[in-house]
Every structure is written in C-alpha cells, then in structure tokens.
Structure 1
Amino acid sequence: MFGMLSMGSSCSFVYINSVLLFTLRSKQVFCETSRYILLYNLLFADTAHMATSVLLYLLASLRINLTYLACGVLVLLSILTATISPLTLAVMSLERYVAVCYPLRHATVFNMRSTGIAIAVVWSFSLINIVIRGFMLLYVLTDFSLMQMGVFCSKDSFFTAPIFKDFEEVYASTLFLSIGVVIIGSYIGVALVARSVSTDKASARKALQTLLLHMIQLILILTSTFISTIFITLARTLGRLTLMRIYNACFVCLNILPRCLSALIYGLRDQTIRAALMQNLCCQCRCSVIFRKRH
C-alpha cells in the first residue's frame, strides 16, 4: 500500500513537470526570457531525476537485480541530474537578485547568450563530478563487467567503497554550502533593497518569497543526499517494516517533493505560466476523456 501511494504520487509529479516542460516550449516569450530558460533547465533535470528515481524504486520493489553496467548508467544519470538542480537554483537566485537590485542592467547581464553560458557551466560542473566518480570506480573495481548484482540497484549498493562515502560528504558539503551562501546573499541583498522607497515593493516581496522557497528546496535536497547515513542509524533500533514505511515517506518527501516544488513555485505563482499551464492541463484531460469515450 505504501509502495503504491509512493509510486502514484511520484508519477503524478513527473506528469505535472512534463506538462510544464511542454508549456515552457509552447510560447516564444518562454524561449526568450532568461528566467524561463533557467526554469526549463531546472525542470528538465528535476524530471529526469524523478523518472530515474521512480525507475530504481520500481526495480527494487519488484526485486529485479540489474547488471553492474546497467545499474551504473542509471545511478550516474541520477547523480548528474541531482547535481544540476541545486546549481541551477543558485543561478536563478542570482537572476532574481539582479532583477530587483539592478533592474536597468538585468537585460544586459542575463540575456540569452549569458544564460546559455551559465547553463553550460552548470552541466560541465556536474559532468566533472561524474568523471571523477568514473575514475574512482575504475581505480577501486578490478572486475567491472556484465556481472549480475547481488542486491537491488542504488547509489549506496553501487558505490560501496569507503572512498566514495568520503568523497560524497566532502563534495556535497562544499557544494551545498557554496549554493547556500549564494541564495542567502541574494536574499539579504533583495531584502535591503526592498526597504528603498524607489523599489517596486510587490516585485521585491515576490522575489524574497521565491528565494526563501529556493532555500527550502536546497535544504530538502541536502537532506536527501545524506539520507543513507540517517537510515543506517535508524536500522540499528527500528524493525524492517517500520524502516520501509519511513523509507517510502522519505522517498516522496525528500527525493520527489523538492523536484516538483519548482512547478509549484513558478507554475502557480507566475501568472504567465499559470494561464498556459492550466490550459495545457485541461486540454490533456479533455483529450483523455474523449479517447476513453471512443474506445
């Protein structure tokens, strides 16, 4: 029952993100505005990460063991997309800071070219993480072939050597600390400017709310990064059934929910996106109803 609820909610979030991705390519204004381009990159990474996580969860629930090669591809894809999201949040926070604090320079600083460069840097930095893990994997494993895994596929079961856990702690701590500084600095800068008489109060207040939600996203993603350490501690005192129920709840709240907050933050709060998103969602519902009636 808990597994079905987890899968149902996860698939619903994947569907909403997919419709929003389609929405962000349905109008020219979304393709030419820096904040919407960054949002598309964030949603693309979040949707890919959710889809990979749901697939790994389903394989584990069905007790299907993959080969090391197949598991490695899925795990590395999950790590890649998981790294892109917080980095994109940092760039989006800087974009909101420039939009409120330096509105006259915003069009110059965040044009389509600079936004494309920022996205390329985000993906490059994430790929460096994957390359480092790949070299570490070749160094640690002596027989990496098409052998079947003895346990279900996950990041913890694939990267079992202590060197990976040390690298994960150092990398995640450095990454999230740096991004946290960027988001908090942007929040403080916008808050100081919001006190100015000449500032658009409504725009500044909305930017502050967005930055606060970005910080909540970052905290949830950071918690999901260290979830394995938390479960190892809980496994010493809790039974298997209780542990599995907690895992299902954490899977949705810490792994899936932070990835769909972007759709809620921008899909419901941005009037331009909200109108197009509701239109596409209603259109999809009408099409499904018509299809069922015909068949």
Structure 2
Amino acid sequence: MMASLTNTTGGLKYQGLLESVMFSTLTTVPCCIFLLVNTAMLMTLRSRPLFRETPRYLLLLNLLCADTTQMALSQLLYLLAVSRAPLTYPPCGVLVMLADLTNTVSPLTLVVMSLERYVAVCHPLRHATLVTARSTAVAVAAVWAISWMNVLTQVVLLLDFPFKDLQSLQMADFCSKDRMMLGVVSEVYDRGYTYFLFASTSVVVASTYVAVTMAARLASSGGASARRARDTLLLHLVQVGLSLSSTLYSPVLVALSRSVSRLLFVRLQNVLYVAIFIFPRCLSSLIYGLRDKSIRPVLLQHLSCGLTLSIGTTRPHFHMRDV
C-alpha cells in the first residue's frame, strides 16, 4: 500500500507549492474527520456492558482498532513522503511493519465476523455455545498472531540484506513499503502473501454469504434475521475487497502512469488515495453506527460531544438482532 506513494512524491516537483499544500489538505482533512468518527465509535463500544460483553461487538471493536491505526499510519507516511522528511531505515521499517500488521488484521477480522454471522443464522442452536466472549478472545488473539507471523517473516527476510555494505542507514528517498523491499525474495513473499490473503478471505466471506442467502430463502420463520445477516455479509465482502484493494491498486497506477501525463497522474492518485485507502477505514463505523439500533443513539451522542440531539433524545433500546 505504501508503495503507491512512489509516483506521488516523485511527481511533486511538477506541482507548485500551492497545489502541493492543497492536495495534502484534501487528504488530511477527510482523514481527521474519519479518525474522529472512528474514535467516537470506539468510545461507544467501550461505554456499555452490552457492547463489551457481546462477541459481535468485540469483533467490531478489534476491526475498528486495526482500521483506525492503519488510517493514522497511512496518513503519517503520506505526510512524511510529501514533506520529504529524512528518515533512516530502522524507524521507517517500524512504521511500515506496523501499518502492514494492521492491514492484515482487518480482513482476517472480517472473516471471523462473517463466520460468526454464519453460525448465528445456519446453526442458531449452537451459536450460544460456540460463540462466547472467551472463544471470541481466542479468535482475536489468533488473528493478531497470524498477522504478527507475517510481519516477523518480513523482518527475517529483511535481515538478509547486507546493511553493512551501505555507507549510511539514511534513506535516499521517502519512507514507504516499496523502499523497504530490499530484496527479490521479500518482494516475491509480500506479493504472494497479499494475493493469498485476498483470495482466501474473499472465498470464506463469499461462501458464508451464499450459505446465509440460502438459509434466508429456506427459512419459514426468522427470515428477517437471516436477510439482515445476509446484507451484513455482503457488506463484509465489500469491506474485504476495499481492505485489500492494494493488490489491484499498484497495477492500475502503473497503467495510468503510462497513459496520462505526470501531473494528471499525481492528481488522480491523490483522489484514489482518499477513495481507496482513507474512506474504507471509516466504512465499518458508518455501516454499524447507522444500521445498528443499539449503537446508533450512543454513537450520535458521542459525536455531538455529549449534547442531546433531537434525533436521539429517547433512551436506546437494545436489539441483539439488528445486524
């Protein structure tokens, strides 16, 4: 994902100072707004025992933590690249690895959330036994462990690079994931892992969506709940696609760079950066905050800094089957 910044900063010399500041502002302002929304959502999920003890909301909390961290790190790397701030390899590596960690956690958490909805609809009698706060904590720990294994593998591959042959650890260019791929093996591994993650998570979420859709059609009772779960899984599938859009983003940029002028390419890339990397990180808050009747009034209260809104003056009524 950070590799997408290569041509952006490379083309800044073709932009005037005013235009560079404008593009930086156009990316930073939406990012700050979405960070505010995500923070309000995190506060909402920590504000009531219902949210802290329900497996579905615990998974949502984990997803939001990963997305919010990923959004903040992406914007930090973007601003460092735009300002051409000098960095050495060690701090750049830490930032890139943390961003890659959270970027892996998001789709894996969506897989777990999809499986939870599948069990709730297709095996409702076993849902209370299989999906508990304890089993959810184990699933979350497994997601982070898998993600950390990917990061540690990248670190091990990176250590094979002969840093001692470098005159200085100072990076000649801006910090990005592309600049940290210092060997062919690292590039091949990263590409293969990303493609595998995209394919496997998409298959799992799509399979659960098909299963829940069939259950919704066959159910003589509780069909409304199955349909809501089906719609949620469809949104999860969209989220997986957006979370892993970097697999297609770089090839698209390469194609654009060959067909449009340098300056136009930089402008298009800034727009795509907001649309593909910033907005999807706020998608979870928008989906659950607006669709879930339990979350909506509490979220609106936090967004309004505790002020009473006319739309949410009544006490929230909690419905476990809203999503």
Does the aligned pair in 1 maintain the 2:289–2:295 contact within 8 Å? yes
Question: Can you list the C-alpha shifts for 1:254-276, whole angstroms capped at 9, x where unaligned?
Answer: 11122111111111100101111
Does the aligned pair in 2 maintain the 1:156–1:228 contact within 8 Å? no
Counterpart of 1:10 in structure 2 is: 31
Q: In the alignment, is residue 183 of structure 1 matched against residue 205 of structure 2?
A: yes
Does the aligned pair in 2 maintain the 1:69–1:145 contact within 8 Å? no
Most deviating of 20-29 and 99-108? 99-108
Counterpart of 2:312 in structure 1 is: none
Matches of 1:126 and 1:113, distance apart in 2 = 20
In the TM superposition, residue 160 of structure 1 has moved relative to its aligned partner by 4.0
Q: In the alignment, is residue 204 of structure 1 matched against residue 226 of structure 2?
A: yes
Most deviating of 166-175 and 20-29? 166-175
Q: In the alignment, is residue 142 of structure 1 matched against residue 163 of structure 2?
A: yes
Matches of 1:8 and 1:256, distance apart in 2 = 11
* Ranges in structure 1 where 5+ consecutive residues have no aligned partner: 287-295
Matches of 1:284 and 1:244, distance apart in 2 = 41
In the TM superposition, residue 47 of structure 1 has moved relative to its aligned partner by 0.3
Map of 1:150-169 to 2, 5 A cutoff? 150-169=172-191
Q: Secondary structure at the match of 2:160?
A: helix
Matches of 2:27 and 2:145, distance apart in 1 = 32
Change (3 A) 1:133 1:174: same
Of residues 237, 261, 269, the one that matches 1:215 is 237
Q: In the alignment, is residue 271 of structure 1 matched against residue 306 of structure 2?
A: no
Matches of 1:145 and 1:206, distance apart in 2 = 59
Question: Can you list the C-alpha shifts for 1:237-267, whole angstroms capped at 9, x where unaligned?
Answer: 3322112112211211111122111111111
Matches of 1:285 and 1:250, distance apart in 2 = 35
Matches of 1:32 and 1:41, distance apart in 2 = 13
Of residues 76, 79, 88, the one that matches 1:58 is 79
Does the aligned pair in 2 maintain the 1:68–1:146 contact within 8 Å? no
Matches of 2:218 and 2:254, distance apart in 1 = 50
Most deviating of 33-42 and 253-262? 253-262
* Ranges in structure 2 where 5+ consecutive residues have no aligned partner: 1-21, 309-323
In the TM superposition, residue 146 of structure 1 has moved relative to its aligned partner by 7.1
Matches of 2:265 and 2:273, distance apart in 1 = 12
Q: Secondary structure at the match of 1:236?
A: helix
Partner letter of residue 159 of structure 1?
A: M
RMSD: 1.7
Counterpart of 2:249 in structure 1 is: 227
Spell out structure 1 runs of 4+ moving beyond 4 A.
none
Map of 1:1-295 to 2, 5 A cutoff? 1-143=22-164, 147-283=169-305
Aligned residues, how many? 286
Most deviating of 106-115 and 134-143? 134-143
Matches of 2:272 and 2:162, distance apart in 1 = 31
Matches of 2:258 and 2:183, distance apart in 1 = 21
Partner letter of residue 43 of structure 2?
A: F
Does the aligned pair in 2 maintain the 1:193–1:199 contact within 8 Å? no
Matches of 1:210 and 1:145, distance apart in 2 = 53
Does the aligned pair in 1 maintain the 2:158–2:182 contact within 8 Å? no
Name whichever structure is richer in helix by fraction: 1
Q: Secondary structure at the match of 1:272?
A: coil
Question: Can you list the C-alpha shifts for 1:78-130, whole angstroms capped at 9, x where unaligned?
Answer: 00000000000000000111111112211111101100000010000000000
Matches of 2:224 and 2:289, distance apart in 1 = 18
Counterpart of 2:16 in structure 1 is: none
